[in-house]
Structure 1
């Protein structure tokens, strides 16, 4: 299933992108079976958007719980996180 994830970022786009693209974060996603389709940033809202393909929403939730430190490192305000299942 595909998911659109969105959240406000707290450490700036350049930092978010650098950490998100790091080998460590790629490995976390790979180990969890999360494939990134694409990502972007909306400067007016300060939100990052990521389209991901995962086995299930439950899998994504498990990844988030088990890797909270990775979200902190990348600079995501978890209180603003939105996960939208996509069709098609």
Structure 2
């Protein structure tokens, strides 16, 4: 299942990007594949991700894990701005 996510960051894109790249082991553990990520061309604090996840349940459970919550906070993700959209072909 492919999910497009977007959200704002408070600590800048580079801080978020480094935390995202450093988190590859957790994604691998849950079978999540990164298809793309990047920032908005006119607003570098607006980030987009495109990921392939085995199931919605895995993604929902991962987002509730204390380690993931802390990682996202440290990366500056503003949770209230986050949107996730499942796309189908």
The TM-score normalised by the length of structure 2 is 0.88
**Corresponding residue number in structure 2 for 1:8:** 8
RMSD over aligned CA atoms reads: 1.3
Q: Give unpaired runs (5+ residues) of structure 2.
A: none
Q: CA deviation at 1:85?
A: 0.2
Give the ranges of 4+ consecutive aligned residues of structure 1 lying more than 4 Å apart after TM superposition. none
Aligned length: 86
SS in structure 2 at match of 1:79: strand
Q: Is the contact between residue 13 and residue 44 of structure 2 (CA under 8 Å) also seen in structure 1?
A: no
CA-CA distance at 1:45 after TM superposition: 6.8
1:47 correspondence with 2:80: no
Q: Structure 1: where are the runs of 5+ without partners? A: none
- TM-score, length of structure 1 as denominator length: 0.89
Q: Please give the alpha-carbon distance, in whole angstroms, between the structure 1 residues aligned to 2:4 and 2:38.
A: 11
The residue number in structure 2 matching 1:27 is 25
Shift, 1:46, TM fit: 2.5
CA distance in structure 2 between the partners assigned to 1:57 and 1:46 by the alignment: 26
Match of 1:75 in 2: 76
Distance 1:45 1:16 in 2: 11
Instruction: Give the equivalent residue in structure 1 for 2:18.
Output: 18
Helix, strand or coil: the match of 2:38? strand
